[in-house]
Amino acid sequence: MTDLRLFPKIELHLHLEGAAPPALVRRLGAEQGKDLTGLFDEGGGYAWSDFTTFLAAYETMSRVFEDPETYADLTEAVLREQAANGVVYTEIFLSPPSLFGGDCGRWEAMRAAAEAGADRVPGLACRFIPVVIRHHGPEAARTGTAAMLKAPRGRIRGFGMAGDERAFHPRDFAGCFAEAREAGLRLTAHAGEFGGPESVRAALDDLGVERIGHGVRAIEDASLVARLAAEGVTLEVCPGSNLALGLYPSLAAHPVARLREAGCRVTISTDDPPFFRDTMTKEYERLAMTFGWGEGQFAALFRTALEAAFCGPETKAAVARRLDGGAGSLSSAENEGPRT
C-alpha cells in the first residue's frame, strides 16, 4: 500500500478539545485576552511533560472554547483534519466546561454549536459522546450528566468518562452511567491507561460499559484479556498517545498486537493528536512498519470499529461502503442525516 492517508479509517476515540490545533488556540487566546502562559513550547506545539501536566495544559487550552461560536469552529477544524487523514466515520468526545456546570441552556448551546460545525464538513459521518471528567469528581459529573440528558440529542449516541484514572473509583460514577444507559446512550469509559487491570474490571463491573478507552494495561492479567475477548469488549486503543505519555518505550513493546492476537476487539485512534504530534495516517504507518500490518489488518480494524460504533444500521451500511471504495457514497447529506 503506498499512501495510507487514503485508506478509509474509523476513529472512535478522539477528544474534541484535545484535537484543537495549537495555532487556533493561540489566536483565540489572544483575541479573548486569556492568559495562556506556559501552554506552548518553542516550536508552537503544546508544552507538557507527563500525564498530570498534560491534563493541566488540556484544561488551560479548553478555556478558549467557552462560547458556541468557537466550539463550532473547533468542530469544523477537527473534522476537516480527520477527513484529510482518510477518516470516514468518527465518534468524538465532548467535554465543554458547561457540561460540568449543570447549566442545561449552556450545554445545549455548545452541543448545537458542535452540530453546526459538523454540518459544515462533507465526506465523513460523525457522532458525539459527552464525557464527564473523573478528576472533577462525582458531584460535577452528576449535575453535568443531568443537564446533558435534559437537552436534545442531535448526534449524541454515547456517554463516557475521561480524565485522571487515579482519582476516585468507577463506582462513584455508577449513577451517571445508569441514567445515561436508561436514556438509551451507549457506554464507554477510560480505563487501563494509568490504572491497571483492576481499573478495567471496575469499569466493566461498576459502569457496565461496552467499550473501554485504552484498556491496554489489561495485558498485565491473562484472565482479564480472556474475559475481554470472550465478552467482545471493544478496546479504543491509542498507541501514539500511550507512547507519548510514557506507558511504553516503543510501539514494538506496546500490547496492541498481542491484544489482537489474544482475540480482543482492537480499534485504533489518536486521542489528542496535536498534543502527541500524531495523525491517524501516522498511526497506520507505524503499525505497518512495526508489525507489518497491511490492507488485510487495516480492513479488519475498520470492520471491528464499525461493529463497535454507536451509530445505527443505516449509517453503518453507508460507512461500510467506503471500505469497498465507494468514496462518493457518504455525502455531506449523510452527515446531516439520517442520523441513525
Residue choice 73, 91, 165, 271 for contact with Zn ion (CB under 5 A): 271
18 binds ligand ADE (CB under 6 A): yes
9 binds ligand ADE (CB under 6 A): no
15 binds ligand ADE (CB under 6 A): yes
Name residues whose C-beta falls within 8 Å of residue 273's C-beta, 6 or more positions apart in sequence.
14, 18, 19, 81, 240, 279, 280
Binding mask 235-254 for ligand ADE (x = CB under 6 A): ------x-------------
Instruction: Looking at 151-279, list the stretches that DSSP marks H as alpha helix, in order from N- to C-terminal side.
Output: 174-182, 197-202, 222-231, 239-244, 256-261
The distance of closest approach from Cβ of residue 50 to ligand ADE in the complex, given in angstroms and rounded to an integer, is 12
From the candidates 17, 193, 236, 334, give the one annotated as an active-site residue: 193
Distance CA 170, CA 131 (A): 14
192 binds ligand ADE (CB under 6 A): no
Burial class of residue 216 in the structure, from the number of CB atoms within 10 Å of its CB (0-12 exposed, 13-18 middle, 19+ buried)? buried
Decide: 15 and 95 in contact? Cβ < 8 Å: yes
Total residues belonging to the chain:
340
Distance CA 161, CA 190 (A): 6
By beta-carbon proximity to ligand ADE, the closer residue of 119 and 271 is 271
Cα end-to-end span (Å), the chain: 33
Residue choice 81, 91, 272, 334 for contact with ligand ADE (CB under 6 A): 272
Question: What does the buried/exposed string (b/e) look like for 284-305 if buried means 16 or more CB atoms within 10 Å of the residue's CB?
Answer: bebbbebeebeeebbeebbebb
By beta-carbon proximity to Zn ion, the closer residue of 162 and 301 is 162
Which residues are bridge partners to 89 per DSSP?
10, 125
Residue closest to Zn ion when measured from CB atoms: 271
By beta-carbon proximity to ligand ADE, the closer residue of 156 and 162 is 162
By beta-carbon proximity to ligand ADE, the closer residue of 119 and 193 is 193
Cell of 62: 479548553
170 binds ligand ADE (CB under 6 A): no
- Amino acid (one-letter) located at 189: A
The distance of closest approach from Cβ of residue 151 to ligand ADE in the complex, given in angstroms and rounded to an integer, is 22
Cell of 299: 480492513
Residue choice 91, 119, 236, 271 for contact with ligand ADE (CB under 6 A): 271
Binding partner at 18 among Zn ion, ligand ADE, none, C-beta below 5 to 8 Å by kind? ligand ADE
Q: How many CB atoms lie within 10 A of CB 331?
A: 12
Binding partner at 74 among Zn ion, ligand ADE, none, C-beta below 5 to 8 Å by kind? none
Distance CA 86, CA 6 (A): 5
Cell of 283: 498511526
Residue closest to ligand ADE when measured from CB atoms: 162
- The answer to whether 193 is a known catalytic residue is yes
Binding mask 110-139 for Zn ion (x = CB under 5 A): ------------------------------
Decide: 280 and 82 in contact? Cβ < 8 Å: yes
Binding mask 28-67 for ligand ADE (x = CB under 6 A): ------------------------------x---------
The distance of closest approach from Cβ of residue 152 to Zn ion in the complex, given in angstroms and rounded to an integer, is 25
By beta-carbon proximity to ligand ADE, the closer residue of 91 and 334 is 91
Binding partner at 215 among ligand ADE, Zn ion, none, C-beta below 5 to 8 Å by kind? none
Query: Beta strand 265-268 with 9-15: parallel, antiparallel or unpaired?
Result: unpaired
Residues engaged in binding ligand ADE (CB under 6 A) = 15, 18, 58, 162-163, 190, 193, 241, 271-272
Active site residues: 193
Residues engaged in binding Zn ion (CB under 5 A) = 271
